[in-house]
Structure 1
Amino acid sequence: MLVLAVRVASVPGLLSTSTVFGAREELPDDPMPGTVGLVVAEGPILGESAVTPGCFAERQPPALLVLHPPSETVPSLPECVGVASGCVLLPGLPYLGLDHRAAWVEAEADGTVTSMVSRVSLDPNSDPDTAVLAMLLAA
């Protein structure tokens, strides 16, 4: 799902700024068979309409994503100019033995995936994207 989302974010003009998306387990009215939930844009990371700490206090999503358009992505390889990137954080409950998990993807405008990384037993403070997403969930 993250690969598809980053491929969409890499299309010029579809995503104007880095945006947070939240997974929701509620189903839409009249769902298609096999529907398991929704991914909804929560808002940009920066600016007047930015997602604020505490916005997930009442309803904590099972996953948060951040997508960065090419204009806000620093590629992991210098030859990959114009890539979009994204990160998904699946928060755990470490004191119960459920580790945090995360994945990162970079993709070019033609859909070519240039980088894909997945980690378990993650310290959310080890990466800027996971740190921001964890802060939004914890606040």
Structure 2
Amino acid sequence: MHEHDDISVEVSPFQAQGVLSGFLVSGRWPASTVEWARFLLLAVRVASVPGMLLTSTVFRVREERPESSHPGAVGLVIAEGPVVGQNAVLPGQFAAHQPPGLIVLHPPSEIRPSLPEQDDVAAGCVLLPGLPHLGLDHRAAWVEADRRGNIARMVSRAGIDPNEDADTAVLALLLAA
């Protein structure tokens, strides 16, 4: 039994001015690519709520404990800005202080669902950057789901080439020096 098996990953979304601003992570951080895919599923379900996310947005994993009085908080996943347009995140923006993960969330208005019978589907991708020169692979997960929890797509993989997928390519560009 792993030492963290009895401690769950708890996720609480928070908003500012009615728009999704991030997630408070409590208990412990996701410990595997599969657990990050479960986190992403919850994030995508939140992003599918009408008006919660206005445009495709990049979120950064911050392992610093928040200064608030949330017991058990281990860190935050914070909205850093839109993928395109005014105040967009910039290539290399996270190169100096590389986060353990970057996430992009797409609201239903920004994607075409994989399954034509599903509507109001949001999508997301988490990139967990590795250190390929040390033999640590890049890992990623992709989710497409609606707010009712119906999943159109859920994939997690290790050993990815970030350039093979549009979302991971954008996130890798933000990390590149």
| TM-score bin (small chain) | over 0.9
**How far 1:33 sits from its partner (Å)?**
4.1
Given the two structures, how large is their TM-score scaled by the length of structure 1? 0.94
Q: Deviations over 1:64-95 (max 9, x none)?
A: 00000000012122222321000000000111
**Equivalent residue, structure 2, for 1:58:** 96
- Partner amino acid, structure 2, of 1:80: Q
Q: Structure 2 stretches of 5 or more lacking a match?
A: 1-38
**How far 1:57 sits from its partner (Å)?**
2.8
Q: Residue 133 of structure 2 aligns to a residue in which SS?
A: helix
Q: Structure 1 stretches of 5 or more lacking a match?
A: none
**Equivalent residue, structure 2, for 1:80:** 118
Q: Which one of 147, 152, 161 corresponds to residue 123 of structure 1?
A: 161
**How far 1:60 sits from its partner (Å)?**
1.2
Partners of 2:145 and 2:152 within 8 A in 1: yes
Q: Deviations over 1:9-55 (max 9, x none)?
A: 00011000000000011111145443221100000001011001122
Corresponding position: 1:70 with 2:108 = yes
Distance 1:32 1:69 in 2: 28
Q: Residue 36 of structure 1 aligns to a residue in which SS?
A: strand
Distance 2:105 2:95 in 1: 22
Given the two structures, how large is their TM-score scaled by the length of structure 2? 0.74
**How far 1:58 sits from its partner (Å)?**
2.6
Distance 1:40 1:30 in 2: 15
Q: Deviations over 1:85-128 (max 9, x none)?
A: 00000000111110000000111132322211001100000100
**How far 1:56 sits from its partner (Å)?**
1.2
Moved over 3 A (4+): 30-34
Q: Residue 7 of structure 1 aligns to a residue in which SS?
A: helix
- Partner amino acid, structure 1, of 2:126: V
**Equivalent residue, structure 2, for 1:47:** 85
Corresponding position: 1:136 with 2:177 = no
- Partner amino acid, structure 1, of 2:118: C
Distance 1:109 1:11 in 2: 6
Which gives a bigger RCO, structure 1 or 2 (Cα 8 Å, sep 6+)? 1
The number of residues matched between the two structures is: 139
- Partner amino acid, structure 1, of 2:81: G
